[in-house]
């Protein structure tokens, strides 16, 4: 893959996208993790983080799990269960892990928790391998 890690504009993880989330990832055991403190600009209903933002965190964690392992794959299907409202201003800890692989299909799961471990949302993702040159 030929993505320049300093100039790409991914909404979730680019360090230079002015409206992006600027997520930074790390590997922890067999998971890929990040932290994010949602602000008032990320809310839907007053005081609650927009579900699309929570979904972005989960999707990106799974995508990064694969990217960091040299898999070139895109999200083909995503299921999210929102367990409790995510409060604006509270740090979210997000982690993703792989659960399977069959042919081009890779399956992953991710969860977002509050600092005390309370699960906010969980996701199941299906990713399909694509040729590296398909992702620029």
Ligand X SMILES: CCCCCCCCCCCC(=O)SCCNC(=O)CCNC(=O)[C@H](O)C(C)(C)COP(=O)(O)OP(=O)(O)OC[C@H]1O[C@@H](n2cnc3c(N)ncnc32)[C@H](O)[C@@H]1OP(=O)(O)O
- Residues interacting with ligand X, by CB under 6 A? 3, 5, 8, 10, 13, 59-60, 63, 67, 74-77, 104-105, 126, 128, 130
* Minimum gap (Å) between residue 62 Cβ and ligand X: 8
* Minimum gap (Å) between residue 57 Cβ and ligand X: 11
- Please identify, using beta-carbon distances, which residue of 74 and 84 lies nearer to ligand X: 74
Asked if residues 13 and 21 have their Cβ atoms less than 8 Å apart, the reply is yes
* Minimum gap (Å) between residue 79 Cβ and ligand X: 10
- Please identify, using beta-carbon distances, which residue of 51 and 87 lies nearer to ligand X: 51
Query: Which residues, other chains included, contact 24 with Cβ-Cβ below 8 Å and sequence gap of 6+?
Result: 13, 34
- Please identify, using beta-carbon distances, which residue of 66 and 113 lies nearer to ligand X: 66
Tell me the C-alpha distance between 102 and 88, whole Å.
38
Tell me the C-alpha distance between 91 and 86, whole Å.
9
Segments in 19-116 forming alpha helices (H) = 51-67
Q: How far is CA 55 from CA 2, 7, 110, 132, in A?
A: 26, 24, 10, 25
* Minimum gap (Å) between residue 31 Cβ and ligand X: 17
- Please identify, using beta-carbon distances, which residue of 84 and 101 lies nearer to ligand X: 101
């Amino acid at each position: 893959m030929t993505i320049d890690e300093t100039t790409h504009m991914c909404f979730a993880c680019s360090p230079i996208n002015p409206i992006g989330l600027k997520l930074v990832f790390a590997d922890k055991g067999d998971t890929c993790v990040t932290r994010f403190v949602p602000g008032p600009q990320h809310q839907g209903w007053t005081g609650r983080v927009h579900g699309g933002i929570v979904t972005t965190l989960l999707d990106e964690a799974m995508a990064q799990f694969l990217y960091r392992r040299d898999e070139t794959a895109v999200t083909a299907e995503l299921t999210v269960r929102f367990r409790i409202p995510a409060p604006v201003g509270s740090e979210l800890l997000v982690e993703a892990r792989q659960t399977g692989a069959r042919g081009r299909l890779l399956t992953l799961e991710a969860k977002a928790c509050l600092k005390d471990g309370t699960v906010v949302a969980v996701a199941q993702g299906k990713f399909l391998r694509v040729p590296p040159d398909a992702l620029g």
